[in-house]
């Protein structure tokens, strides 16, 4: 059992990061904090993919007689794309927060909802 827990140490960490991100996203009313939670949530998935590709004792995938075990490079390549998507999402989110701040003069969700339901 202990071996199982320690053997999957990286996955426990990833689950923790993911849940912290998701919890922040759900529980905070501040839009900036929501975006921070969202970014953490996405980062956890990136870590998850990178963990998937790692082979114990494996090296980088280079052609050389000395090495026979390689880590899988494909998940890392996929994550380059996912990182770009994540950056774009966060940037767009920040841009929207700026526009919301200009339009409502607040970034607190409850105040925005109150203004919306009043108008």
Partner 1 sequence: MTEQITILLVIIPLLCAPITAIFKSHKIAWAITFFVSLCCLLISSYILLQVIDGSQVIYELGGWQPPWGIEYKIDSLNAFVALIVSVMAVVSTVFAYASVQREIDDDLYGLFYAAFQLCLLGLLGIALTGDIFNLFVFLEISSLSSYALISMGSNRKALTAAFSYLILGTIGATFFLIGVGFLYAASGSLNIFDIASRFETYEKMQLVTTSFIFIILGIGLKAAIFPLHSWLPNAYGYAPSVISIFLAATATKVSIYVLIRVLFDVYPMEYWSKLLIPQVLLTLGCVAVIYGSVRAWQQNEIRRLLAFSSVAQIGYIIIGLALLSHSGITSAIMHMFNHAVIKATLFMAAGMILYRARSTTLSDLGGFAVNMPWTFAALFIAGLSLIGVPGTAGFVSKWYLLEGAVAQQKWFVVISIALGSVFAVAYLWKIVDAMYFSAQRKIHITKVKSGDISLAVAPKSMSVALWTGAIACIYFGLFTKLPTDAAKSVATALLGS
Residue 11 sits in the site that holds partner 1 (CB under 8 A): no
Residue 49 sits in the site that holds partner 1 (CB under 8 A): yes
Residue 25 sits in the site that holds partner 1 (CB under 8 A): yes
**Beta bridge partner(s), residue 70:** 59
Residue 103 sits in the site that holds partner 1 (CB under 8 A): yes
d(CA 86, CA 95): 14
Q: Backbone dihedral region of 105: left (phi > 0), alpha (psi from -120 to 50 degrees) or beta?
A: left
Instruction: Tell me whether residue 5 or residue 87 sits nearer to partner 1 (CB atom).
Output: 87
Residue 56 sits in the site that holds partner 1 (CB under 8 A): no
Listed residue (23, 43, 24) closest to 90, CA to CA: 43
CA 95 to each of CA 28, 91, 98: distance values in angstroms, whole numbers, following the listed order: 19, 6, 5
Binding residue for partner 1, selected from 17, 48, 58, 106, defined by CB under 8 A: 48
Q: Which of residues 64-93 bind partner 1 (CB under 8 A)?
A: 75, 78, 81-82, 85, 88-89, 92-93
């Amino acid at each position: 059992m202990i071996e199982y827990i320690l053997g999957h140490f990286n996955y426990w960490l990833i689950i923790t990061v993911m849940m912290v991100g998701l919890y922040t996203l759900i529980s905070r009313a501040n839009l900036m904090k929501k975006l921070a939670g969202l970014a953490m949530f996405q980062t956890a998935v990136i870590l998850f993919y990178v963990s998937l590709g790692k082979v114990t004792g494996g090296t980088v995938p280079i052609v050389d007689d000395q090495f026979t075990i390689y880590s899988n490079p494909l998940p890392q390549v996929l994550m380059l794309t996912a990182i770009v998507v994540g950056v774009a999402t966060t940037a767009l989110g920040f841009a929207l927060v700026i526009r919301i701040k200009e339009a409502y003069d607040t970034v607190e969700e409850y105040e925005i909802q109150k203004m919306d339901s009043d108008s």
